[in-house]
Amino acid sequence: MAFRKNTDSDGKKLYFPEGALLNQMEVAVVESERRKSDILKEPFIVYLVESRAVDGLEPGCTLWRRYSEFETLRNYLMAIYPFIVLPPLPEKRINVAKFQLAADKFDPDFIERRRQGLECFLLRLASHPVISQDVIFRGFLNQEVGWKESVSETNWQQKSDSRFKSISASMSIKKPDQRFDDIRSYSESLFSNITSLLKIQQKISARQQTILKQHIEFGKLFSEWSVIETEIGDSLQQAGHQMDRLGSQSESIYNEEQVAYIDQLKEYLYFTESLRAIVRKQYLKQFELERAEEALAAKSKQKEELAKEINATQNGTEAPTSGFTFKSVSNMLFGQDSMEVRQEKLLLLEEQVKEAEENLKMVSEEAEIFVEKSLKDIDRFKKQKVRDINEIMENYVKTQYKVNKLGLQQWQSMKEYFMQM
């Protein structure tokens, strides 16, 4: 899940990027528990988060967290670190039948898979060198009392951009960054490809489940048949047992496949939204940059025209005109401003131009920093993706190998029983 690094600056061997929390601490979501409260009518699930030092010299910490607290943590991180490709959370509730998800949010298998997903989420964060240093994230792991208040005090909601604002910016920018357009296209294609892959896998899984049920039914029929047979009864009984074993053991392997293959693919399905969120943020940064450029250009033009007008008046020549404007109409109706008033307006425009220049510089620097950090983290994500997809596909091949090896063994055994008839 994280790449191996040789040593840090002190020569210490590392297994994660330098600065990652997992180099010093182990993090896990070890169990789940169903609870009720006097306030909430519906039951809810809490998860036990455990963290302890790798060297064991410091005492560890265990605390219970609700899914909503995981959501709060991620929302905070999205606002504070918009340039980071944040890992997704597992599903809170189930409403997507096409991905072969359980319908009951309290289904034990679903709760267990969600627990594993939440653990993966924390491990992803704890392996990130930037997120690992965040006080709020560390508090999530060891601050049982007052953590929510600590999050609220950061005022992270004020830094969160609305989706509508980002979409409006993407439609208004005049000079889009092709690199981020490419990232958006890639994320959309990746989402489409994984969605199609999951749909096909769902069909395969449904067919495999049907075959497993038929094998179990096959075994039952052999066992019933063996009761009325004298010469071949034992062979039929043994063949029935092999059919039962094939069905039950294959089902266990396919359940492993759900976690090792399907759930990990779904994680990358939702990773694509993190990529799109970064692109939307860059569009917003570019939109703000272009608006700052336009504001500076407008103020500079006003200053230039007023300066020419003042010079013309002082030299006794006709001031240059810009055609039929509101200002020209105002001058005809009410007369021109006095020299003193125009000098004051020029000074004000000079201050406004200076402010616009400073604002443009600030917005430009923020945009450059965001682009630099986001491209760096996207590069990190791409390397992570290659490693993970490789591992996902290896797990899938191993699962298919185990199922087929098991089937071959069972059918060989049944062949021997039938040959003994």
- Whole-angstrom distance, CA of residue 200 vs CA of residue 267: 17
- Whole-angstrom distance, CA of residue 84 vs CA of residue 370: 10
Averaged pLDDT score across all residues of the chain: 84
- Whole-angstrom distance, CA of residue 108 vs CA of residue 31: 12
Q: Which residue has the higher pLDDT, 389 or 259?
A: 389
Question: Quick one: CATH architecture of 171-312+344-420?
Answer: Up-down Bundle (1.20)
* C-beta atoms surrounding 363 within 10 Å: 19
The pLDDT of residue 323 is 55
The pLDDT of residue 361 is 97
Q: Could you state, in order of their start, the residue ranges of all structural domains in the chain?
A: 8-160, 171-312+344-420
**151 beta partners:** none
The pLDDT of residue 75 is 95
Examine the pLDDT at 28 and tell me if it is beyond 70.
yes
Q: Which of 78, 272, 282, 82 has the alpha carbon at shortest distance from 170?
A: 282
pLDDT digits (tens, 9 = 90+) for 285-305: 999 999 999 999 999 999 998
N-terminal to C-terminal alpha carbon distance within the chain? 53
pLDDT digits (tens, 9 = 90+) for 30-46: 999 998 877 767 888 99
The pLDDT of residue 325 is 57
Q: Which residue has the higher pLDDT, 413 or 346?
A: 346
Examine the pLDDT at 190 and tell me if it is beyond 70.
yes
Which amino acid, one-letter code, is at 289? L
286: which 2 tokens?
Answer: 């570019």
- Whole-angstrom distance, CA of residue 110 vs CA of residue 116: 10
* Cα dihedral: 230, 236, 241, 246 (round 10): 180
- The CATH H-level superfamily of 8-160 is Phox-like domain (3.30.1520.10)
Report the SS3 class of residue 53: strand
Examine the pLDDT at 100 and tell me if it is beyond 50.
no
Q: Are 294 and 373 in contact (CB under 8 A)?
A: no
Position 2 confidence tier, pLDDT thresholds 50, 70, 90 = very low
- Whole-angstrom distance, CA of residue 248 vs CA of residue 216: 8
Examine the pLDDT at 373 and tell me if it is beyond 60.
yes
Residue with tokens 């999205």: 78
What b/e string do you get for 366-385 counting C-beta neighbours within 10 Å, with b at 16 or more? ebeebbebbbebbebbeebe
pLDDT above 70 as % of the chain: 86
Q: Which residue has the higher pLDDT, 367 or 211?
A: 367
- Whole-angstrom distance, CA of residue 201 vs CA of residue 223: 33
| Minimum mean pLDDT range among 10-24, 64-78, 274-288 | 10-24
